[in-house]
């Protein structure tokens, strides 16, 4: 066969024609599932383009169809901040929870009412709504309710990513970056691997953007998944190679996207479904339904299983239909997402610190499996807690092979009456760790005969395991228990804490076995020479890990607090403490009473914090981290004092603020909250279904505020005037 000739008449023109034609065929094949030519015909066009680009390298561009598989990332995956946080979604598991969410949405979308309401002696609890309406008539007339319709979409079980497009030479847009969700604030740059996904457009034409009235710069968010067929093919290949099988498509997709070899990523045939469009960091203002249509018009794959619904009944009908067909879709889903359609309503509803109020994920009912308990082992956590774990005969539940399940604690085993050899029902729902829910007793599943005696010594170090009065958990009392250190290191390095990528179980185990670390502070003393001596470590990988450790020094006070292992201090509490005190020195100097003034910190948490810092070893650890250069400061949250001396009592349901949010804002402004009404109460803040506290306020002539009145006081820096009922 002779060598293929390259037409020389006008190579630039032919290259442009081939690229347009190849992109059209890729869209037909990967997005519309309607190919016009055979694979051989596609390959012929691709080969012609490759030959032309090889002969004329000046014509090669990064967005060419030939460049979907490029070189390896130079130094692993860099972390990049998101243009807008990628929030989680709140979950619902029943129609009742869905109805409660719908009611909250409708309440929050109603007009906002205005000012403080002063009741005279003649007012009663019965006429309170009328008084509000009359008092705020001007604002009530001005405000209008917002429309409430929802877009129901399938909740695909994959990996969330954000794709950034910027202006391309000659017009249009080109893909410039792809980030994983990461911790929601920053993600990993996996652009090289994203480019291998055929359902991700590398370019968008100027004509398309003009037609859709989109700028050249925008962001698309969606889900990377591994289709069922590709997952099964992957496991067949791994089985033939004698490798461990992938657990489920979601984990396989995440692992694939983070593979450093793009050719491997390309061979796995990942897919991408788009569901959000952002311009200048803001959601596309035409609503979710139009957003999905716009994404499809841009050339993205958008899940066709979506519907506009207006009631809880329509939501549940869509959910039931999705559950019925989930096994036929060709990809994994674990629920349905409901999003408020109108952008204006979304803006009014806003978000909490972790999730938008205008969207919710309905999770499908947990799936069950019946299997046998072959053994029970006990794990030791970073706080010394001993957790029993059942080793099971492997059983396939909801797309995952389950061979282990938590048994929580000794009391749980006793309540179940669990014995070794028992047959049990195992539940797996959403991202929850598989758990044993009951023992099966029937003729087909005979009971086991051996009891399990919970150990009184630590299985890792042999030290005593004790259970404090009032607690259900046994704990190892040895401060130097190697299992506690191992779990502490893994926790310290985890994504939600110090975010040290690459410091996983295998590496931590080797560091411990070789005596290279005896506390989390020792991580900052590691050298390249020490790491190169570990299995699968070369100079480049050692340097990458050291760079990650160095970068973690700037994680901030909240993450350091979360990584120290203080009992009851999780991510949220650590953040609140950091915002309140601003530095480790300030936090260590406060009393338990001062700690309890912090939002969500009660006596148990304050005691744990004080006990932690009172231990000399812990104080030494903090000082070592400081000397290693770990930053232990944070920007203090501004807290006003203009409500100092005022006491508020909250009652009923407020339109937009939860009880906890209202309490936090009052305390942040220097005020106090109380649980009962007395003569010392300054204001009662009343919402819907306010009860006896409102009646008591009227009886004592204490001023009553609605939510808007409370917000007005929170925003005012001027001392509040006395109102009717104040002395």
CATH 1.10.287.610 is held by the domain 11-67? yes
* Structure confidence at residue 5 as a pLDDT band (50, 70, 90): very low
Q: Is the pLDDT of residue 656 over 80?
A: yes
CATH architecture observed for domain 482-554: Orthogonal Bundle (1.10)
Q: Of 169-173, 240-244, 578-582, 606-610, which gets the smallest average pLDDT? A: 240-244
| CA-based nearest residue to 314, from 154, 155, 149, 100 | 149
CATH assignment, 557-627 = 1.10.150.20
The reported pLDDT for the residue numbered 30 is 58
- State the catalytic residue, choosing from 155, 363, 484, 696: 155
Average pLDDT score over residue span 583-587: 94
The token pair at 566 is: 């203080």
664-707 pLDDT tens trace: 788 778 788 887 888 889 999 998 878 778 888 888 889 999 99
pLDDT for res 129 = 56
CATH 3.40.605.10 matches 114-144+638-727: no
State the pLDDT at residue 13: 86
Active site residue 155: yes
For residues 235-248, average pLDDT: 73
Is residue 245 pLDDT above 80, yes or no? Answer: no
* Most distant CA pair in the chain, distance: 104
Radius of gyration of the chain (CA): 30
User: Residue 258: is its pLDDT beyond 60?
Assistant: yes
Q: Is 110 exposed, middle or buried (0-12, 13-18, 19+ CB in 10 A)?
A: middle
| Mean pLDDT score of the chain | 84
703 and 724 Cβ atoms separated by less than 8 Å: yes
Specify the pLDDT at position 49: 85
The domains of the chain are located at: 11-67, 114-144+638-727, 152-363, 367-466, 482-554, 557-627
Residue 244: the pLDDT is 67
What pLDDT score was predicted for residue 266?
A: 82
What is the band of 719 on the pLDDT scale with cuts at 50, 70, 90?
A: very low
Which 3 state secondary structure label does DSSP give 94?
A: coil
pLDDT on residue 587: 94
pLDDT of 166 reads 94
Chain center to CA of 359: 14
118 vs 604, 609, 702, 705, CA distance in Å? 39, 43, 9, 8
For the stretch 613-655, pLDDT in tens is 988 888 899 999 999 999 999 987 766 677 878 889 998 888 8
Q: Return the CATH architecture of domain 152-363.
A: 2-Layer Sandwich (3.30)
Burial class (CB in 10 A: 0-12, 13-18, 19+), 614: exposed
pLDDT tens digits along 397-429:
866 788 999 898 999 999 999 999 999 999 875
Reply yes or no on whether the pLDDT at 353 is more than 70: no
pLDDT of residue 115: 39
The three-state secondary structure class of 292 is helix
Q: What is the DSSP letter of 27?
A: I
Q: Output b/e per residue, 340-351; b: 16+ Cβ within 10 A.
A: bbbbebbebbee
Task: Look up the CATH architecture of domain 367-466.
Answer: Beta Barrel (2.40)
Mean pLDDT of 64-87: 73
Answer whether residue 233 shows pLDDT above 50: yes
Across 211-232, average pLDDT: 93
With 70 as the cut, is the pLDDT of residue 551 above it? yes
User: CA-to-CA distance for 219 and 162, rounded, in angstroms?
Assistant: 7
Residue 138: the pLDDT is 40
Q: Is the pLDDT of residue 328 over 50?
A: yes
Do 557-627 and 482-554 fall under one CATH topology? yes
Residue 331 pLDDT > 60: yes
């Amino acid at each position: 066969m002779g060598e293929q000739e390259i037409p020389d008449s006008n190579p630039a023109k032919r290259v442009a024609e081939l690229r347009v034609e190849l992109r059209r065929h890729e869209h037909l094949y990967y997005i519309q599932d309607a190919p016009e030519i055979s694979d051989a015909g596609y390959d012929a066009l691709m080969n012609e383009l490759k030959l032309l680009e090889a002969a004329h390298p000046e014509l090669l561009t990064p967005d060419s169809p030939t460049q979907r598989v490029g070189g390896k990332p130079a130094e692993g995956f860099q972390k990049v901040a998101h243009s807008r946080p990628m929030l989680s979604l709140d979950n619902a598991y029943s129609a009742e929870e869905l109805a409660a969410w719908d009611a909250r949405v409708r309440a929050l979308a109603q007009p906002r009412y205005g000012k403080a309401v002063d009741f005279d002696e003649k007012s009663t609890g019965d006429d309170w709504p009328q008084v509000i309406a009359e008092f705020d008539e001007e604002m009530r007339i001005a405000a209008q309710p917002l429309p409430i319709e929802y877009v129901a979409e399938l909740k695909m079980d994959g990996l969330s990513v954000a794709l950034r497009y910027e202006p391309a030479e000659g017009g249009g847009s080109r893909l410039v970056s792809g980030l994983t969700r990461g911790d929601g604030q920053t993600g990993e740059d996996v652009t090289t691997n994203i480019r291998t996904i055929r359902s991700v457009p590398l370019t968008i034409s100027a004509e398309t953007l003009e037609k859709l009235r989109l700028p050249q710069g925008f962001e698309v968010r969606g889900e990377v998944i591994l289709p069922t067929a590709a997952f099964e093919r992957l496991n067949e290949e791994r089985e033939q190679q004698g490798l461990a099988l992938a657990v489920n498509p979601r984990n396989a997709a995440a692992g694939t996207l983070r593979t450093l070899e793009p050719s491997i990523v390309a061979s796995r045939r990942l897919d991408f479904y788009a569901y959000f469009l952002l311009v200048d960091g803001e959601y596309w203002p035409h609503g979710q339904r139009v957003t999905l249509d716009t994404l499809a018009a841009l050339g993205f794959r958008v899940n066709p299983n979506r519907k506009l619904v207006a009631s809880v009944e329509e939501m549940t009908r869509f959910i039931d239909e999705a559950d019925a067909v989930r096994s036929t879709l060709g990809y994994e889903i674990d629920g349905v997402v409901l999003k408020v359609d109108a952008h204006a309503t979304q803006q009014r509803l806003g978000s909490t610190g972790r999730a938008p109020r205008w969207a919710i994920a309905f999770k499908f009912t947990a799936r069950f499996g019946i299997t046998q308990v072959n053994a029970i082992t006990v794990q030791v956590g970073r706080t010394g807690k001993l957790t029993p774990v059942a080793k099971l005969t492997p059983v396939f539940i909801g797309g995952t092979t389950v061979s282990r399940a938590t048994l929580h604690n000794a009391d749980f085993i006793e309540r179940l009456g669990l014995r070794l050899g028992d047959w049990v029902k195992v539940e797996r729902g959403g991202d929850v760790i598989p758990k044993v829910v009951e023992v099966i007793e029937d003729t087909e599943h005979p009971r086991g005969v051996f009891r399990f005696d919970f150990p009184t010594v630590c299985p890792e170090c042999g030290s005593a395991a004790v259970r404090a009065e009032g607690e259900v958990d046994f704990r190892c009392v040895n401060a130097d228990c190697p299992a506690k250190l191992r779990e502490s290191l893994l926790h310290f390095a985890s994504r939600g804490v110090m975010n040290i990528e690459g410091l996983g179980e295998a590496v931590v185990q080797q560091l411990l076995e070789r005596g290279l670390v005896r506390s989390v502070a020792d991580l900052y003393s590691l050298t390249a020479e020490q790491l190169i001596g570990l299995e699968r470590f070369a100079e480049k990988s050692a340097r990458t890990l050291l760079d990650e450790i160095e970068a973690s020094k700037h994680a901030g006070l909240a993450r350091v607090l979360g990584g120290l292992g203080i009992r009851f201090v999780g991510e949220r509490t650590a953040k609140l403490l950091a915002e309140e005190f601003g530095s480790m020195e300030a936090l260590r100097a406060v009393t338990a009473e001062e700690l309890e003034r912090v939002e969500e910190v009660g006596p148990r948490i304050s005691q744990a914090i004080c006990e932690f810092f009172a231990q000399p070893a812990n104080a030494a650890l903090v000082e070592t981290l400081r000397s290693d250069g770990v930053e232990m400061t944070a920007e203090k949250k501004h807290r006003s004092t203009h409500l100092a001396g005022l006491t508020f009592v909250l009652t009923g349901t407020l339109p937009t603020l939860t009880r906890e949010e209202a309490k936090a804002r009052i305390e942040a402004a220097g005020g106090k909250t109380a649980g009962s009404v007395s003569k010392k109460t300054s204001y009662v803040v009343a919402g819907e279904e306010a009860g006896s506290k409102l009646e008591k306020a009227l009886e004592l002539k204490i001023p009553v505020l609605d939510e808007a009145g409370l917000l007005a006081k929170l925003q005012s820096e001027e001392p509040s005037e006395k109102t009717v009922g104040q002395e």
